[in-house]
Structure 1
Amino acid sequence: MMKHKRKLIFITSVAVLFAYLMLGTAGLVSYLANRTLAEQGLNVNINKIRLNPFAMTVEVSDVLLTYQNKSVLELAQLSVETRFGQLVNGNIAIAQANIADGKIVLNYQNDTVSLGGWLPSKTEEKQQENNTTSEPLNVFIQQVLLSNINVELNAQRKHQFVLQQAKISDSEFSSLAQRVNAELVMQLNNEPMKVTAKAEQLEGKWQLDISEMQGALTIDHYAQWIPEPWSSAKGQLTWNVKAAVNQLEKVWSVELASLTFNASSLAVPLLTAGESKKALLGELALSSNNTHLAISTINSGELSASLGTTDLALTSLQLPLDVSGQVSNFSLDSFNVNAPSSSIALMADAQGMNAKGIVTLAGSGVSWIDATNNDVLLKLAQLDITDLDWALSDALSLNIPALSLGNGEFSTLAQQPQGLSLGDSALPPLAKWRTVNIANIAIKPQAIAIEDIKADIEQITVVKTKEQPLANLTLRSKNSNEAEQTNTQQTSTEQANSEQTSNEQESESAQTSISLGSVEILGVPNINYYDYSLKFPMVQQLQIERLWVKNIVSQPITTKAEYSLLARMGKRAAIDVAGQLTPFDPTQGLSAKGTFTGVDLTQYSPFIADAIGHNIKQGMLNAKIDFAVDKKEIKGKVDTHIKAIALSPYIGKDDHQVTQNNLVPLNLAIGQLTDDKGNLDIDIPLSGNLDDPDIGLTGIISLITTKAMKEGAKSYLMQTFVPYANIVSVAMMAGGTLFAINVDDLKYPAEQVILDDKQKTFADQLAQILIDKPKLQITACPVLGKADGISGPVKTLADKKISELKAMGQQRFHHFVDYLVDEKGIASDRIVPCASELSTKKAQGHLSFSIK
């Protein structure tokens, strides 16, 4: 009886204990925990804990942890099933665990993360360190499932992390091995993320296999952690990665099976030319497959990489750039980079880095515009670079089989330069082309080689003003004029330094050779030339039917290239020239041989007017040229035929005006030189120096025309009066725009009026000039001198005396005219009279003459 009673009491006690473990543990655990947590302002409340020591399971539900009466952790359900056998051996083995419907509140402040504002005290941290044993804890997990776990991070904005589903299986954390298999499905700030991965560390080998890692995020959600000046960046990022990472001893390797990365609606702040601007990108798409990366940490380390098939695509890019202190906007509609599998490889070690690769580039809708005044620096419809082969060792080298620029324009001004008068017409771009194809480009540290360039040009426009030789070039600093003034005021010391720097640069450039097989202009481009640097603006239009240059080589600099040019000016005029030149210093070696036909000289009047002081009212040029330039010295000849030439009256400076009777302006000399149709034929030598202001490089046509008229007029006048050199002399004045024809005076003894024999001989020679040159006329002016009875200043003479002297002068004139008309048959209207002059500066009276 007693035995049964004792047995019943034991069973009852065990049952009561088991019931307490199953049902009453929650209160006990909460009580014991809060005794410690209360000091930290924490309080935990557990609604239910169920322990099953026989099944080795624990179930916990409705856990609430508060800090300062605010919820910081909530958990609706936790269940764990362990393995008793492993517990006996000192291990933790989780056969099955489920954690569901939880919430954790974190605060971020002063670079510190706290649990709802709570941080463990330093005393607790120290106790935890002291309680840590040196014995490793082995953990084995068969399966752990988590669902609907919310983590709330309160920072400058509220961040929400939701672990929707997570599965950890077949995992081990022991002294022998570290292994984990994880599948995670998450949301971060309502943006999806997913990771499926396996990691293992065993016997010195570490391996990570990522079967899937994809996600998305919005950049401005994390502005708090983005450094300045990029903290205001915006945009969305998405990615998907499949990769494997392996580590054996001191060698790491990464096998990137696949990668896709997308960025959209990007806005990134940039500091450009001292201003805050934003770079914008519609979309960036990157994909890569089968990329390999190996890193060795032995000694100084080595790195090698082999890039798999890779594609990069950009759309709607807008990028602010600093150009000479000005903000400009660079944009493109699309840009693509393609690299075939294993086409890019890299190797780096302590001695340096070597890399090589082959990529193909393609872009469209390229635009580069000045943000200040909307000038177009560059526009390009299409850019293609095929199989760019690059290598990087000590320096970068490039090989490009083909580069193509399609439908582009360069340097277009939004407003006309000051001083231009094109009306409402917009100024065309400096250059506009349909296609530019460049073949076989090779760039090395000391050499640049190009096989050929073929450019289908639509038009080229050049604008020259007094201030700027290329006024429609947009790439110019906003303070360029100030800079030019400053440069002209530099000291001699700065000039010496500049010369030294220039010499050093020349020495460096001498080490880099440039070679270009040929450049050829295709199509029939229009060349528009506006020269507003002249007194009268000049506009010239050409159509290029043929232009090529071959064998362009920089070293030695004296290497000559061949060129050929055929250009039309209007429907009929043409220039056909061929020759050689030294392209890197044209003043050292240039030859030209060819023809100018049907050139309307009125178009070049502004050029020529500055040189000769006369506008060309009409005229046409035909010329054969054959000359060469050697070290700036011009030598050659031009067979010139100018048709129907007619010049305006003199329009030059006041100090060149014709103020003396013996001066003949160029237009009158040309009038004497031409035939009855106004034609002028002359062979002229071209000689001089390119730095000579009378020659210059203002244009070969104006040079030829100016030389022809000046030299022709001079030659004509000299030849005309050589037979009469004993009474006539000719001199060129005012840079060839005036000619002084000096005729000796016909002197008279005192009171003589009738011609004597010696005076008749003089008159005979002068008459012969008029007979030989029927276009000429003479002016004869009587001058009375001291020998004629002028004893004092003219103003002291009596009126009667003055009248008598002037009458004597007129008698001398009339007797001279009578002799030429009656004896020599000269028409009286070719002898122009003028009033008698009284002069005390002359000792003897005389007749003075001028021929025109």
Structure 2
Amino acid sequence: MKQLRQIKSTVKSRGGIITSVSALVILLFVSAVPFAIKHGALFWLTSKGMEARIDNVDVNLFAGTLVVEGVHLRAQSGEASSLERFGVNLAMTDLVRKRLRIQSLHIDGLDLMVRQDTSLMAGGFPISTGEPHAEPPARDDKESKTPWHVGVDTFTARNTSVNLSLPKLDLVIALEDASLTGLSTWKPEQVSRLEITGALNKSPLLVSLDLVPFGPETSVQGGVQLTDFALSPFSGLAAPRVAALEGELTVDTRFTITQAPEAGTTLSQTGTLSLSHVGGHLTDPAVTLRDAGITWLGDVWVALDKDGTLTDLRTLGSLSNGKLDIAYPEGGIRLRHEGIVWDGELSFDPSRKDGLAARGNLSVRQALASDSETDVKIASLAHFFAYDIKAKGLADIRVPHISLKKLAALPPLSEIGSVDITGMALEELSHLRAETFIIDDVVTTLVRDPSGRLTFFNTLNSLTAFHWGDSAPAPSEAEVPNTPPPAPRPIVTAKINTFRISGSPFLHLTDRSVRPVFEKGVTLKRLEIQNIDTADPDKDLPLSLVAELDTYETLSVTGTVRPLAHDVSAHLEARVANINLSSLSPYSSQALGYLIKRGSFTADSTLDIDAGILDVRNQLTLRNLKLVPDDEDTAHQTMKNLSMPLDYALSILEDGNGTISLSIPVHGDIHNPDISLNSIIQVAMTKAITTASVSYLSFLLQPYGALLMVAEKAGEMVTEIHLDSVGYALGATEPNPEGLEYLKVVAGLMKKKEFLNLTVCANAVAEDLVTPEAPHGETPENADAPEAPEPPARERYLDLAQQRGRAIRHILAKEGIAPGRIHVCRPDFTVSAQKQPEAELTL
């Protein structure tokens, strides 16, 4: 027994020793692990050329915890990285179930540089993507059929900064507080939560997301807020297409993304996306964008099939371009506005031909087009609003009401108070309809400078010369590409039930080319045309016009027109009443040499145009007209044209009450006639009594200016119309070929105007009578014959001139002109200063 007890005692003693030794070994191992990890890491970092310091490493293998504190690294390139604290806690008991479960992972005070040059570097360490490893051979054992799972109960990161430097992009991601909870692959339908508070390039960033990344239907749902994120770091990515990119991005939105293997992907978004102060220079074409902004506030829903093809798109909300300033120097234009807003809904179904649909309102505020260099205003618009737009594809677009306010073109040339269009519809982008098209408060300002040129033409010419002074050379035939002709564009037709325009004053004219300066205003009470239809150009359109030139000076027109027909047709009744002629004295003095002391003008006209043939009946009345001489030279020239003083010519036409009444019919073809009737009428107009009023009324009151010019041809009874001269070859009695052709034109005119008579005054020049010398060494025929006696030179001149005049009379008689209408004058004994034989024609 004693021996047995000794054996047991010995065994117990040895067991205690083994246990103690084992415990000591384990204790030494556990104590050595942190030391080994720390110094092993330092040795490895040093071997990689890093300057490294680790303040503390704490490992608890039984609890599954690892804590590293105070890590400071500096690479040979000078990049410094640091980590204040790293802690991880593994659930050791889950390893037996093939689950790598991280109960907590904490990072605090990380400062890391990630850079990519020739390779990707993190904290100075190269990160190799490496080659893909070959998959290990498949195993049929039971263990291989049970996959490993990974999960994170809680991940947190605080005071962390990652500097990302790519070849064309630099980003700084600062995480003040970030957390991820509930992420595990063995619970695929569990919702994980991601929360981030930080900054992206110093722009505040908030992220709150619910994630289901491992389920049969993956999803992301939550919100993102990013405030005033600068776009300038993306300049490298935008180059070379865009230079000097600038602007800010603001995001405040919630969204949901779901993806199913068979159903595809859906995305829904609600909130705000905004770009502000966007600017840059587009290189091709050269366009400069300044201080632009665009904001989306609303909902978006997008569906993609499993192949990523769009199947549905819907939006509801407001898309606004708050400000725009864009310059296009090549085109010489700069565009600005202070707001474009689309407020409504839009949908797109790619499976349908008319799958695009929209409904909403569109508005524009303070739009301006100006010259890109001089900033001269070209056109402006205060407000545009299209109400309740309804679009079904491009085949059917309807807008109940369109309103435009305060339009201007080349201010102050033309300004429009408002434009209202109702009941507008556009079908197939080719058929436009509108119930009413009303333009109100039109003001047009025309100014003639002292040289007589309209000032807005000067502005246009200066802009054109500035931008397009040197036109590009035309390409040669070899340089022109052999491209197929473009497809024909669809013919656009328009139908407007009522078109109306008014303005007070509609037109204001200032003429500085005369003295005193002339100023006149015209008020357009109403111009209305009904039932406009470009598809039916031969339909009569009712027209009415009422205007005032002054309180008592009126113009009214009623009737029908066909302005769109191939040959313009019209039937109009018009009245111009009580036009005060004294205000036109600057023009009458300039044209006639007389001032209009007093007088008024009234006209009642019936105008018919049938397929371009004009038939006008005018009843014209001049009352109490009194002229006084002003410019002696011009008045003398007027008297020469009229063959008597102008005031005497008017006295012939006046009745006992000082009234001149003329009934003047006008007939003719408004197209270019075979006979140059227009040029002859223009000659007659220069001798008309009221040239000044023609300058004014023909400018303002077309077609009445043309009617008046014809009507006041009454003075023609005492004037002459000088035509172009007919030329001859030296010594010839028959006109030259050009003269023969011209005489046919004159004959045609005289056939149409049988009341016209023609006077022919021919001449002869000294060269007509010079005998050409014989060539040197030759003897003229009949040189020995006796010379006939020559008549006196005066008689030879007159005889040749008379033969030329009679030849013209004979030619015109053969053309059907009665000889009694052709008078051949006896020329004076003169020699042409130009030494050209010719015949002067006077009607």
Structure 2 counterparts to residues 190-209 of structure 1, below 5 A: 190-202=202-214, 204-209=216-221
When residues 367 and 838 of structure 1 are mapped into structure 2, their CA distance, relative to the original with a 3 A threshold, is closer
Match of 1:781 in 2: none
Match of 1:346 in 2: 348
**Aligned partners of 1:178 and 1:11: how far apart in 2?**
46
Instruction: Find 2:18's aligned residue among 10, 20, 29.
Output: 10
AA partner of residue 685 (structure 1): P
- Give SS of 1:23's match: helix
Match of 2:724 in 1: none
Match of 1:277 in 2: 288
**Aligned partners of 2:647 and 2:57: how far apart in 1?**
121
Does residue 368 (structure 1) correspond to residue 352 (structure 2)? The answer is no
**Aligned partners of 2:669 and 2:413: how far apart in 1?**
30
- 1:548-576 Cα offsets, whole Å, 9 max, x none, are 22111111222232211111112221111
When residues 53 and 193 of structure 1 are mapped into structure 2, their CA distance, relative to the original with a 3 A threshold, is same
AA partner of residue 337 (structure 2): L
Does residue 435 (structure 1) correspond to residue 418 (structure 2)? The answer is yes
AA partner of residue 707 (structure 2): I
- 1:792-812 Cα offsets, whole Å, 9 max, x none, are 8999xxxxxxxxxxxxxxxxx
- 1:725-779 Cα offsets, whole Å, 9 max, x none, are xxxxxxx99x99x99999xxxxxxxxxxxxxxxxxxxxxxxxxxxxxxxxxxxxx
Aligned-pair CA distance for 1:358: 0.9
Instruction: Find 2:340's aligned residue among 298, 318, 335.
Output: 335
Match of 1:778 in 2: none
Match of 1:78 in 2: 86
Match of 2:707 in 1: 704
Aligned-pair CA distance for 1:353: 6.8
Contact 2:643 2:718 in 1 (8 A): no
- Give SS of 2:56's match: strand
Match of 2:302 in 1: 293
Contact 1:180 1:199 in 2 (8 A): yes
Match of 1:550 in 2: 530
Gaps of 5+ in 1: 413-428, 494-500, 718-731, 743-790, 796-836, 842-852
Structure 2 counterparts to residues 550-569 of structure 1, below 5 A: 550-569=530-549
Instruction: Find 2:433's aligned residue among 445, 449, 452.
Output: 449
Q: Answer with 649-658 or 220-229: which moved more.
A: 649-658
Match of 1:148 in 2: 159
Instruction: Find 1:181's aligned residue among 174, 182, 193.
Output: 193
AA partner of residue 367 (structure 2): V
AA partner of residue 58 (structure 1): L
Match of 1:25 in 2: 33
Match of 2:357 in 1: 356
When residues 53 and 708 of structure 1 are mapped into structure 2, their CA distance, relative to the original with a 3 A threshold, is closer
When residues 331 and 302 of structure 1 are mapped into structure 2, their CA distance, relative to the original with a 3 A threshold, is closer
Match of 1:597 in 2: 577
Match of 2:805 in 1: none
**Aligned partners of 1:591 and 1:535: how far apart in 2?**
39
When residues 377 and 257 of structure 1 are mapped into structure 2, their CA distance, relative to the original with a 3 A threshold, is same
**Aligned partners of 1:215 and 1:14: how far apart in 2?**
61
AA partner of residue 709 (structure 2): T
**Aligned partners of 2:387 and 2:364: how far apart in 1?**
12
**Aligned partners of 2:35 and 2:706: how far apart in 1?**
112
When residues 486 and 208 of structure 1 are mapped into structure 2, their CA distance, relative to the original with a 3 A threshold, is closer
**Aligned partners of 1:389 and 1:186: how far apart in 2?**
44
When residues 378 and 584 of structure 1 are mapped into structure 2, their CA distance, relative to the original with a 3 A threshold, is same
Structure 2 counterparts to residues 440-589 of structure 1, below 5 A: 440-444=423-427, 445-462=429-446, 471=456, 478-479=463-464, 508=489, 511-522=491-502, 524-529=504-509, 540-584=520-564, 588-589=568-569
- Give SS of 1:233's match: strand
**Aligned partners of 1:55 and 1:839: how far apart in 2?**
139
Match of 2:408 in 1: 409
When residues 484 and 599 of structure 1 are mapped into structure 2, their CA distance, relative to the original with a 3 A threshold, is farther
- Give SS of 2:338's match: strand
When residues 217 and 605 of structure 1 are mapped into structure 2, their CA distance, relative to the original with a 3 A threshold, is same
- 1:518-548 Cα offsets, whole Å, 9 max, x none, are 1223563331246799999976421112222
**Aligned partners of 2:590 and 2:536: how far apart in 1?**
38
Instruction: Find 2:105's aligned residue among 63, 80, 97.
Output: 97
**Aligned partners of 2:829 and 2:418: how far apart in 1?**
80
Contact 1:240 1:260 in 2 (8 A): yes
Match of 1:320 in 2: 327
Structure 2 counterparts to residues 655-674 of structure 1, below 5 A: 663=643, 668-674=648-654
Match of 2:743 in 1: none
**Aligned partners of 2:196 and 2:302: how far apart in 1?**
26
Gaps of 5+ in 2: 1-8, 139-143, 478-484, 683-697, 721-748, 760-790, 796-825, 831-843
Aligned-pair CA distance for 1:588: 0.8
**Aligned partners of 1:473 and 1:514: how far apart in 2?**
34
**Aligned partners of 2:469 and 2:662: how far apart in 1?**
44
AA partner of residue 620 (structure 2): T
Could you tell me the percent identity over the aligned residues? 16
Contact 1:646 1:678 in 2 (8 A): no
When residues 105 and 839 of structure 1 are mapped into structure 2, their CA distance, relative to the original with a 3 A threshold, is closer
Aligned-pair CA distance for 1:457: 1.0
**Aligned partners of 1:740 and 1:656: how far apart in 2?**
23
Contact 1:358 1:388 in 2 (8 A): yes
When residues 437 and 352 of structure 1 are mapped into structure 2, their CA distance, relative to the original with a 3 A threshold, is closer
| TM-score, length basis structure 2 | 0.70
- Give SS of 2:335's match: strand
Structure 2 counterparts to residues 715-794 of structure 1, below 5 A: none
Does residue 639 (structure 1) correspond to residue 651 (structure 2)? The answer is no
Aligned-pair CA distance for 1:229: 4.0
Aligned-pair CA distance for 1:92: 0.5
When residues 58 and 380 of structure 1 are mapped into structure 2, their CA distance, relative to the original with a 3 A threshold, is same
Aligned-pair CA distance for 1:447: 0.7
Aligned-pair CA distance for 1:58: 2.4
Match of 1:119 in 2: 126
AA partner of residue 634 (structure 1): L
**Aligned partners of 1:626 and 1:78: how far apart in 2?**
101
Aligned-pair CA distance for 1:319: 2.3
**Aligned partners of 1:175 and 1:443: how far apart in 2?**
57
- Give SS of 2:244's match: coil
Contact 2:178 2:195 in 1 (8 A): yes
Aligned-residue CA RMSD (Å): 4.8
Contact 1:595 1:625 in 2 (8 A): yes
Aligned-pair CA distance for 1:85: 3.2
Match of 1:745 in 2: none
- Give SS of 1:54's match: coil
Does residue 53 (structure 1) correspond to residue 48 (structure 2)? The answer is no
Instruction: Find 2:239's aligned residue among 223, 227, 244.
Output: 227
Aligned-pair CA distance for 1:251: 3.7
Aligned-pair CA distance for 1:55: 2.1
- Give SS of 1:197's match: strand
Contact 2:265 2:306 in 1 (8 A): no
Match of 2:149 in 1: 138
AA partner of residue 145 (structure 1): T
- Give SS of 2:375's match: coil
Matched residue count: 690
When residues 385 and 741 of structure 1 are mapped into structure 2, their CA distance, relative to the original with a 3 A threshold, is closer
Contact 1:91 1:138 in 2 (8 A): yes
- Give SS of 1:555's match: coil
- 1:138-194 Cα offsets, whole Å, 9 max, x none, are 202222222222213456897532222222111124697897432222222222212
- Give SS of 1:119's match: strand
Aligned-pair CA distance for 1:356: 0.8
Aligned-pair CA distance for 1:337: 2.2
**Aligned partners of 2:519 and 2:668: how far apart in 1?**
28
Contact 1:256 1:292 in 2 (8 A): yes
Aligned-pair CA distance for 1:671: 3.2
**Aligned partners of 1:26 and 1:840: how far apart in 2?**
137
**Aligned partners of 2:569 and 2:335: how far apart in 1?**
40
**Aligned partners of 1:484 and 1:63: how far apart in 2?**
69
Match of 1:770 in 2: none
| TM-score, length basis structure 1 | 0.70
Aligned-pair CA distance for 1:352: 6.0
